[in-house]
Amino acid sequence: MSASTKGIAFDQAQNLWVAGLGGITVLQQGKPKKVLQPAQGLPSIFVTCVERAPDGSLWIGTETGIVRYRPDGSHSLRFSRRWLLDDHVNDITFDAQGNAWIATAKGVSAIKHRSMNLAQKQDYFYDVLMKRHIRSPWIAGNAAYRFQEI
């Protein structure tokens, strides 16, 4: 465990997650149970915060994005402009609906909780694809033409 503690949070089993330089140390009844570092899914050893979500998952902020650890042991990484205004995460909080609000170096990002079935998900992503990536006459993305003099 680092002397540079950046945050603490309890998981559903009342284990204490301590965030600091070097990763996350999980304490069970005051004794180290495990350490989370890049080999266990953290994007960086430079951890900035840890917060428990209403669904029981633990969200860890780092200088290179966030990672969510679910109670079942799985984890997922969120980084880049797809998810965050900036990868340097300063803090994380949650609203009553379970939406994550992430304070970054360039502003606040929101990762909203939305339940949908497979058909709804297909409709949503098809709509995004058509609005953002398909151009007339059915070209995906930007097309660059280069002419070479002969």
* pLDDT at res. 142: 59
pLDDT digits (tens, 9 = 90+) for 17-44: 999 888 999 999 989 999 999 999 999 9
Task: Please tell me the predicted confidence (pLDDT) of residue 134.
Answer: 79
Query: In angstroms, rounded to a whole number, what is the distance separating the alpha carbons of residues 109 and 97?
Result: 16
Residue type, 61: G
Residue 72: pLDDT above 70?
yes
Q: Please indicate, yes or no, if residue 65 is contained in any of the structural domains.
A: yes
Q: Is residue 149 part of a domain?
A: no
Is there a domain that residue 123 lies in? Answer: no
Q: What is the pLDDT of residues 74-129, one digit of tens each?
A: 999 999 988 999 999 999 999 999 999 999 999 999 999 888 999 999 998 889 88
Q: Please count the structural domains in the chain.
A: 1
Domain that holds residue 13: 5-114
Output the pLDDT for position 63: 95
Q: Is 120 contained in some domain? A: no
Return the CATH number at 104.
Answer: 2.120.10.30
Task: Give the pLDDT confidence score for residue 131 in this predicted structure.
Answer: 84
Q: Is the peptide bond before 137 cis (omega within 30 degrees of 0)?
A: yes
- What CA–CA distances, in Å, run from 59 to 8, 22, 40, 51, 93? 11, 16, 14, 5, 9
Check whether 57 has a pLDDT greater than 80. yes
pLDDT of residue 145: 55
Residue 81 resides in a domain? yes
C-alpha closest to that of 43 among 83, 10, 16? 83
In a domain, 34, yes or no: yes
What was the pLDDT predicted at 128?
Answer: 84
**pLDDT for 113:** 81
Residue 121 placed within a domain = no
pLDDT bin (cut points 50, 70, 90) of residue 135 is confident
